[in-house]
């Protein structure tokens, strides 16, 4: 089968690539010269728009849907990527959900749903990534700075992301001899539609004031750190990288 991959073009899969941070990551990696697979589960129109923005800027991208926690969906996504581009060099897993409530009031169905996507989804994606990534490749998972803040209502969400961090640290050691880096980005407050929803300007200003940079982050700030881990920052490996302007 012929592929569209150029010999000098690296290939990236961005899980959750149609969301706020995921879109910024997709566009940044494309701007850095990578062919990008923009994954989505329900946001097909947003994924299509992201692909259009990339191609209009001169990049190469395609959108592929699927459930990150379904091993068959994800296997098909990785197989389609290899068939189209010839291989995979970077996998970035931004996909995840957040349910906030005190532990005493936690609905276990919500807990199970969050862990299915955040934890099982990371296991599924990590398995496929380490099986497919070429030498010189990078896997970038996503946690949150909340794991260090002990903020009320975030216990179950922080627990799911703590699992992601532990998995990242061990997987990096399992990649010995393959020249593949495995890291996790842990963003702080970031100006995505999800973060800003239902928050007053006063609350956003208060959160911004917690950082010595005196602002909240942008998706582009996070994407810049991902781009470093996906490309030139080869000596950063097996780490949790906090991208929060010094708020933690």
Active site residues: 157
Contacts of 52 (CB under 8 A, 6+ apart): none
The span from the CA of 36 to the CA of 211, in Å, is: 32
Cα dihedral 183, 209, 25, 18 in deg (nearest 10): 120
Count the Cβ atoms, other than its own, within 10 Å of residue 68: 25
The span from the CA of 34 to the CA of 28, in Å, is: 9
For residue 240, the surrounding DSSP H or E stretch is: strand 240-243
Of 137, 100, 142, 103, nearest in space to 121 by CA = 142
């Amino acid at each position: 089968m012929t592929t569209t991959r150029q010999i000098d073009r690296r290939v990236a899969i961005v899980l959750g690539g149609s969301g706020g941070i995921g879109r910024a990551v997709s566009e940044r990696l494309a701007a850095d010269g990578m062919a990008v697979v923009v994954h989505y589960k329900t946001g097909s129109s947003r994924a299509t728009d992201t692909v259009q923005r990339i191609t209009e800027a001169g990049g190469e991208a395609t959108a592929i849907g699927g459930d990150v926690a379904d091993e068959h969906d994800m296997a098909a996504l990785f197989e389609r990527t290899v068939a189209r581009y010839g291989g995979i060099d970077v996998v970035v897993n931004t996909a995840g959900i957040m349910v906030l409530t005190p532990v005493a009031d936690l609905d276990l169905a919500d807990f199970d749903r969050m862990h299915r996507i955040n934890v099982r989804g990371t296991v599924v994606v990590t398995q496929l990534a380490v099986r497919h990534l070429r030498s010189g490749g990078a896997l970038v998972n996503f946690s949150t700075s909340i794991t260090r803040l002990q903020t009320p209502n975030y216990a179950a969400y922080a627990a799911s992301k703590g699992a992601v961090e532990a998995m990242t640290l061990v997987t990096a050691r399992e990649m010995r001899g393959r020249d593949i880096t495995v890291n996790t980005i842990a963003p702080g407050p970031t100006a995505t539609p999800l973060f800003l929803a239902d928050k007053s300007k006063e609350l956003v200003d208060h959160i911004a004031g917690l950082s010595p940079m005196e602002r909240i982050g942008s998706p582009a700030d996070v994407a810049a750190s991902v781009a470093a881990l996906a490309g030139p920052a080869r000596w950063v490996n097996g780490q949790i990288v906090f991208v929060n302007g010094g708020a933690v």
